[in-house]
Amino acid sequence: MANLVGDVSSAARILPELNGEKLFIRHGKGAYLWDDKGRQYIDTALGFGAVLLGHANDSVNAGVTQALADSAAPSWAHVREHGAATALAQHTGALSKVMFTNSGSEAVHLACRAARAYTGRKKIAKMAAGFDGWFDDVSFGNVTSNEASFSDGARPTTERTTLLRFNDFEDVERLFAEDQDIAAVILEPMLANAGCIMPLPGYLKHVQDIAHQHGALVICDEVLMGFRLYAGLAGLREGLDPDLASVGKAIGNGVPVSAVVGKPEILAGFEEGRVARGGTFSGNPMACAAVTSTLAQLDESDFEALIERGDALRQSIEAAFKSQGITVVTSGYGNVFGIWLSADAPVTYEQAAHKANPAFTTALHLALREAGLLMMPSPYGRIYISFEHTDEVIDAMKAAFETAAAKLKPAFADA
């Protein structure tokens, strides 16, 4: 009998069996993973967005190894934490104060605590179908939940969380007309875990403006998209002026580390001891070493070229399926995007839920896996590429998609 619940410690890592076999990864390097049978795969999950420099980056590993040798848990303030915070704050604009955590969920939780403490209000508003961590409060209304889709006048609300519809300009105005106890609105640069639904022009700024007009803060949840488009926060590039942001994943290249960054006045309560915080492993030496090394390398990385390679891959995927009589479309950015069995990408969660086709994405996952490429099997999943996904790797990915498209033709060709 297996002792590990469901074979994994996070449900997102569960994959369907292929030819009666379960997949267990032994190691990874660059753009590749190898399973326990020695088979090699191109990886497109990349730590669900965390691995941007490629698996087992030598510089990051060296820094983490040295930090581990110096002591994994020195208990007290240590020599690496200030440097890591300074390196991060140099990329986050007016959000110049930093608190490290271990996971994105923790970072969002701490940002919500900061907003409640600063405003004296109780509720956090999040996007319906958005994923802002697995803690109880913000897991309310996640993608595929009953609450994620709602009609006017029937807004799902708990004591501490309320929802609003992504890309609905009027819904955010209704929200604040209905409820004066909103401490903050959580914004993602795109609704990533609902299949990379892109914001309509001006939408994110509209939400921010309405929130600020009503005395609520804005939290940019950048755990997934921060440092993916350039070495900084995606929301800042969109012209936003958030009060707080949660960051993680790519800032440590797969090493467990996240952080809350915020304006000094918003986080003053923590600095003065009026608001509680903790975490035995928060800001640990290995995490800080990973942040310092990762950010230094990202500063020297060619994001434009990376996104161009990804956009070429997106076009190739759509063309590969079209050649087999299957209509698909991609949504997102060049280095993180979703695939839809549809002629057009969804712009609302309701559209996404209607277009989602689990049979197609499961079949695509299995066909690609046989062809040596690992992709999330969920209809709301994403394709990531890293800086180790060179032109050669991208060409191999294109070939894998061409093979998969031909295999899926009998079941999914347009009627």
CB atoms within 10 A of CB 284: 25
Distance CA 364, CA 407 (A): 9
| 133, 161 contact by CB (below 8 A) | no
- 98: number of CA atoms within 13 Å, CB side? 24
Which residues are CB-neighbours of 268 under 8 A, at least 6 positions away? none
Q: Where are the alpha helices (DSSP H) in 73-183?
A: 81-89, 104-119, 136-139, 169-178
415 residues of the chain, pLDDT tens digit each: 589 888 888 878 888 889 889 999 999 999 999 999 999 999 999 999 999 999 999 999 999 999 999 999 999 999 999 999 999 999 999 999 999 999 999 999 999 999 999 999 999 999 999 999 999 999 999 999 999 999 999 999 999 999 999 999 999 999 999 999 999 999 999 999 999 999 999 999 999 999 999 999 999 999 999 999 999 999 999 999 999 999 999 999 999 999 999 999 999 999 999 999 989 999 999 999 999 999 999 999 999 999 999 999 999 999 999 999 999 999 999 999 999 999 999 999 999 999 999 999 999 999 999 999 999 999 999 999 999 999 999 999 999 999 999 999 999 998 5
Which residues are CB-neighbours of 14 under 8 A, at least 6 positions away? 6, 7, 8
In what side-by-side order are the strands of the sheet with 329-333?
329-333, 336-340, 383-384
Of 221, 272, 271, nearest to 243 by C-alpha is 221
For tokens 């309509």, name the residue. Answer: 200
Task: Indicate yes or no: pTM above 0.85.
Answer: yes
Distance CA 60, CA 118 (A): 36
Q: Write out the two tokens for 18.
A: 């292929």
Torsion angles phi and psi, residue 385, rounded to 5: -130, 150
Angle, alpha carbons 188-113-163 (nearest 5°): 45
| 16, 366 contact by CB (below 8 A) | yes
Pairing assessment for the beta strands 40-43 and 97-101 based on DSSP bridges:
unpaired
Distance CA 198, CA 210 (A): 20
Distance CA 51, CA 227 (A): 11
Radius of gyration (Cα) for the chain, nearest Å?
21
Distance CA 263, CA 242 (A): 9
Instruction: Catalogue all structural domains in the chain, each as residue range(s) with its CATH number.
Output: 16-53+302-412 (3.90.1150.10), 58-299 (3.40.640.10)
CA distances from 257 to 22, 110, 373, 411 (A): 29, 14, 27, 42
Torsion angles phi and psi, residue 255, rounded to 5: -75, 135
